[in-house]
Amino acid sequence: MRVIPSVCTFCGVGCGIGLRVQDGRVIGVEPQPRHPVSQGQLCAKGWATSFAIDAAKRLTEPLIKEHGQFRRASWDEALARVAEAFRTALEEAGPQSVGVISCARASNEDNYAAQKFARAVLGTHNIDHCARICHSPSVAGLALTLGSGAMTNSIADIDEAELILVIGADVTENHAMIGARILRAQARGATLIVVDPRKTRLARLANIHLQLRLGSNIALLNGLLQIILANGWENRAFLEARCADIQPLRRHLAELSPELSSALTGIGVAELEQVAYLYSHARSAYTAYGMGITQFQSGTNNVIAVSNLALACGQVGRPGTGINPLRGQNNVQGACDMGCLPNVYPGYQDAADAAVQAKFATAWGRPAPAHPGLTSLGMTQAALDGALRALMIMGEEPVLTDPDQGHVARALAALDFLVVVELSLTETAKLADVVLPAASFAEKHGTFTNCERRVQRVRQAIAAPGEARCDWQILGELAARLGYPGMAWSDAEAVFDEMAGLTPIYSAMSYPALDHRHGLQWPCDADHPQGSPLLHAQGFPRGRARLLPVTQVEPDECPDADYPFAFTTHRLHFHYGGGSMTRQSPLLERETPAALLFMHPDDGARLGLRDQQAVAVRSRRGRLETRVHLTDDVPPGTLAMPYHFREAPCNRLTNAAQDPQSKMPELKACAVAVEPLPLAARPAGATDHASL
Ligand code: SF4
């Protein structure tokens, strides 16, 4: 048996694993003992990695759909079909009629190739990925306040924090090894404050849990800052030395009072004052947040409110402090870094900047696309409008993870042509005209970038099943068929080297440099050849940081007589994303085999429901059937549901109302109604889960 060092393929923590390989198969995993992030540990998902890539459920050959049925095809026939479809769309409707949705689970090399394929081969900025629905508001909001949208500090800084503030993040479930680190920090004396409308596991263990009303994040953060400023608890030296004028924000907040903030959030005045005092007086306060901040139509302003609080208290730019968005997927940070966003080239180089356009046009030998690009949800709408004709989706599952599932399915059906590059036949792949089999992370060389900006190597441990190929190879072959020879890389390292040569924040990185230690954190350039564990110690990318006035915005859809419950979505420790990988594991599937609707017992009693009873849930967009789980995890009047389960896809219910700045849909809040189903009813696809 050999053990090949690699990185966990699930969440953005980026734990170090060893793939145990025997007879050409990954038979298990083990933690890397001295890994700086995971420190010799893994969560339940990490231990189950080998099931996610098991060859039994994998696609091994290209598939072409004819008369509604898939048939096997050769690579030559499938790639010819894809190239012909893109060529036809380009000739008939121009480069705005085609697009690519890349993948936050794929490597940096695959994502670099995806955006180069879109821009240099198809001639469009229509390139996006699932960061749109997780942390696009972080990229937009922190760019406005600090000039950089990534985690400011490292995961290890949790060990140095005197106070840890977690807002809208279910850390023990979704970023388990960070959750464990936070609990160890609390055990050695750090104060843990959790802000969440649900009683998460971390909230139950926290020193203080602020169980705010769903969607009242800005009211809470503004309320805390108003108390801090009114009492003179702000860090004046930091504000004078490092920030632009705070006066507009001070005047804006003067309209508030603790009593008004309490009324808006449902949190008592005494608790607000206690948290304001503790946060502003902590020697080091580490702020971490998740999609409970970003997935609102006010997502960008929510992020700005987090930033305002940290800046006003000087809790940025030192060890143990910082503004730290917890990125969801294993390489969502990398996919953003690689420029798989319509408005930026690799390294966040502005796609609208003429000098940047000229730089890439020269390097790639193709002119920059003429038009601004569409986001993933913009492409969905363009497909429905008939403006988008051909689309490539690499390894993403928008049918399960995007809001308003019916809307997404109608949009994909409206395309002239859909090609999906995937490991297995997902719900999205089933809708494709052509499906191309992809190699998994264990079957190729490459790099992933975790949420603390750490770029780490993954190495080929086994051969890909059947004829599956790396995404960058597939894209290179398609590029050649479309007349562009500039993507014929010899190997993954050649892709990385081309990218690093064009991306200043990665410019001092190379495979040998990354091999030398457990990766490097960007910016890693001539001034920082060892990388940058801490950002903004001396200055901000935009010079002085900005504190921007923001105002509470209610969710687009609030409960009413027809839809009386507030509804939110969440994730479970044992599953990940649309479940296409974790649900391959019998161990994980045994723990939580079916979707449940989390409801407070008081609401259950009012509706005459008993625990585990079958119910129908309706919103203005769709209906599903599931079982109810009576628990005080949620407050009365608020329901929650995990989104991993195709049998009860909660995004059939969610609202596509968007944040005007980042185009983030409001996945965290909508209104629903619940009806009991007959006692004998068993929801479609339901599994017996008496163990719950
Ligand atoms: Fe994998 Fe995330 Fe668990 Fe670490 S915390 S083992 S990266 S799923």
Q: Which residues partner with 616 through β-bridges?
A: 625, 675
Residue 209, amino acid: H
Instruction: Quickly state the pLDDT bin for 680 (edges 50, 70, 90).
Output: low
pLDDT digits (tens, 9 = 90+) for 527-551: 999 999 999 999 899 899 999 999 9
pLDDT digits (tens, 9 = 90+) for 550-579: 999 999 999 999 999 999 988 877 777 767
Query: Cβ(475)–Cβ(117) under 8 Å?
Result: yes
Cα gap 102→114, rounded to integer Å: 6
Q: Which are the contacts of 245, defined by CB distance < 8 A and separation ≥ 6?
A: none
Select from 42, 327, 452 the residue to mutate for testing ligand 1; criterion: most ligand atoms less than 8 Å from CB: 42
Distance (Å) from CA 178 to ligand 1 centroid = 9
- Name the nearest CA neighbour of 501 among 102, 106, 110, 112: 112
Select from 6, 13, 330 the residue to mutate for testing ligand 1; criterion: most ligand atoms less than 8 Å from CB: 13
Cα gap 419→78, rounded to integer Å: 10
pLDDT digits (tens, 9 = 90+) for 139-189: 899 999 999 889 999 999 999 999 999 999 999 988 999 999 999 999 999
Q: Of 194-198, 255-259, 280-284, 654-658, which range is least confident?
A: 654-658
Q: Of 259-268, 373-382, 467-476, 483-492, which range is least confident?
A: 373-382
Residue 691, amino acid: S
Select from 6, 37, 45 the residue to mutate for testing ligand 1; criterion: most ligand atoms less than 8 Å from CB: 45
Place of tokens 């949420």: 451
Concatenated DSSP letters of 113-170: HHHHIIIIII----EE-GGGGTTHHHHHHHHHHTS--S-SS-GGGGGG-SEEEEES--
Q: Is a pLDDT exceeding 90 seen at residue 401?
A: no
Instruction: Quickly state the pLDDT bin for 665 (edges 50, 70, 90).
Output: confident
Select from 53, 174, 177 the residue to mutate for testing ligand 1; criterion: most ligand atoms less than 8 Å from CB: 177
Looking at domain 136-325, its CATH architecture is 3-Layer(aba) Sandwich (3.40)
- Name the nearest CA neighbour of 484 among 73, 45, 116, 33: 116
Distance (Å) from CA 322 to ligand 1 centroid = 22
Query: Cβ(645)–Cβ(594) under 8 Å?
Result: yes
Q: Is a pLDDT exceeding 50 seen at residue 596?
A: yes
Instruction: Quickly state the pLDDT bin for 498 (edges 50, 70, 90).
Output: very high
In what helix (H) or strand (E) does residue 202 lie, and over which residues does it extend?
Answer: helix 201-205
Distance (Å) from CA 45 to ligand 1 centroid = 6
Q: Of 48-62, 231-245, 351-365, 469-483, which range is least confident?
A: 48-62
Q: Is a pLDDT exceeding 50 seen at residue 114?
A: yes
C-beta neighbour count of 600 within 10 angstroms: 18
Distance (Å) from CA 8 to ligand 1 centroid = 6
**What six digits make up the tokens of 136?**
């696009």
Query: Cβ(652)–Cβ(623) under 8 Å?
Result: yes
| Percent of the chain surpassing pLDDT 70 | 97
The pairing of strands 446-449 and 565-570 is: unpaired
In what helix (H) or strand (E) does residue 157 lie, and over which residues does it extend?
Answer: none
Cα gap 630→213, rounded to integer Å: 19
pLDDT digits (tens, 9 = 90+) for 363-377: 999 999 999 999 998
* Atom 3 of ligand 1, nearest CA residue: 43
Query: Cβ(196)–Cβ(211) under 8 Å?
Result: yes
Helix-, strand-, coil-residue percentages of the chain, each rounded to 5: 35, 20, 45
Q: Mean pLDDT, the chain, as a whole number? A: 92
pLDDT of 593: 67
Length of the chain: 692
Distance (Å) from CA 330 to ligand 1 centroid = 8
In what helix (H) or strand (E) does residue 38 lie, and over which residues does it extend?
Answer: none
Select from 10, 441, 454, 581 the residue to mutate for testing ligand 1; criterion: most ligand atoms less than 8 Å from CB: 10
Taking the domain 2-52, which CATH number applies?
2.20.25.90
Burial class for 472, CB neighbours closer than 10 Å (0-12, 13-18, 19+): buried
Query: Cβ(658)–Cβ(297) under 8 Å?
Result: yes
Q: Which atom of ligand 1 is nearest to the CA of 10?
A: 8
Q: Which atom of ligand 1 is nearest to the CA of 44?
A: 3
**What six digits make up the tokens of 180?**
């464990």
CA dist 421 to 68, 120, 426, Å?
18, 20, 10
* Atom 2 of ligand 1, nearest CA residue: 11
* Atom 6 of ligand 1, nearest CA residue: 46
Domain ranges (residues) in the chain:
2-52, 60-132+330-514, 136-325, 565-690
The dihedral sign for the CA sequence 437, 442, 444, 450: positive
Distance (Å) from CA 43 to ligand 1 centroid = 6
Q: Which atom of ligand 1 is nearest to the CA of 9?
A: 1
Cα gap 633→498, rounded to integer Å: 49
Query: Cis omega (within 30 of 0) on the bond before 258?
Result: no
Instruction: Quickly state the pLDDT bin for 652 (edges 50, 70, 90).
Output: confident
| Average confidence (pLDDT) over 235-242 | 97
Q: Is a pLDDT exceeding 60 seen at residue 127?
A: yes
Select from 6, 7, 15 the residue to mutate for testing ligand 1; criterion: most ligand atoms less than 8 Å from CB: 15
565-690 is a CATH 3.30.1780.10 domain: no
Q: Which are the contacts of 16, defined by CB distance < 8 A and separation ≥ 6?
A: 5, 6, 7, 8, 31, 32, 35, 37, 38, 456, 518
Distance (Å) from CA 16 to ligand 1 centroid = 9
Distance (Å) from CA 291 to ligand 1 centroid = 17
Cα gap 86→95, rounded to integer Å: 9
Give yes or no on whether 2-52 and 60-132+330-514 have one common fold: no
Cα gap 474→113, rounded to integer Å: 9
| Average confidence (pLDDT) over 13-20 | 95
Q: Which atom of ligand 1 is nearest to the CA of 177?
A: 5
- The set of protein residues with a Cβ atom below 6 angstroms from ligand 1 is 8, 10-11, 13-15, 38, 42-43, 45-46, 175-177
In what helix (H) or strand (E) does residue 483 lie, and over which residues does it extend?
Answer: none
Query: How remote is the C-alpha of 600 from its chain's centroid?
Result: 28
CA dist 39 to 13, 204, 327, Å?
12, 25, 20
Q: Which atom of ligand 1 is nearest to the CA of 450?
A: 7
Distance (Å) from CA 17 to ligand 1 centroid = 9
Q: Which atom of ligand 1 is nearest to the CA of 42?
A: 6
**What six digits make up the tokens of 310?**
């940290």
Quote the pTM value.
0.91
Q: Which atom of ligand 1 is nearest to the CA of 576?
A: 8
Distance (Å) from CA 11 to ligand 1 centroid = 5
Q: Of 126-140, 309-323, 475-489, 541-555, which range is least confident?
A: 126-140
Distance (Å) from CA 185 to ligand 1 centroid = 19
pLDDT of 691: 30
| Average confidence (pLDDT) over 635-652 | 85
Q: Which atom of ligand 1 is nearest to the CA of 43?
A: 3
Q: Is a pLDDT exceeding 80 seen at residue 645?
A: no
Residue 126, amino acid: N
Cα gap 540→535, rounded to integer Å: 8
Distance (Å) from CA 175 to ligand 1 centroid = 6
List the beta strands (DSSP E) in 577-656. Answer: 596-599, 614-618, 623-630, 638-642
- Name the nearest CA neighbour of 139 among 428, 277, 335, 312: 335
CATH top-level class of 60-132+330-514: alpha beta
Concatenated DSSP letters of 369-436: PSSPPP-HHHHHHHHHHT---EEEEES--HHHHSSSHHHHHHHHHHSSEEEEEESS--TTGGG-SEEE
**What six digits make up the tokens of 524?**
């890693």
Q: Which residues partner with 70 through β-bridges?
A: 65
* Atom 4 of ligand 1, nearest CA residue: 15
Cα gap 147→539, rounded to integer Å: 10
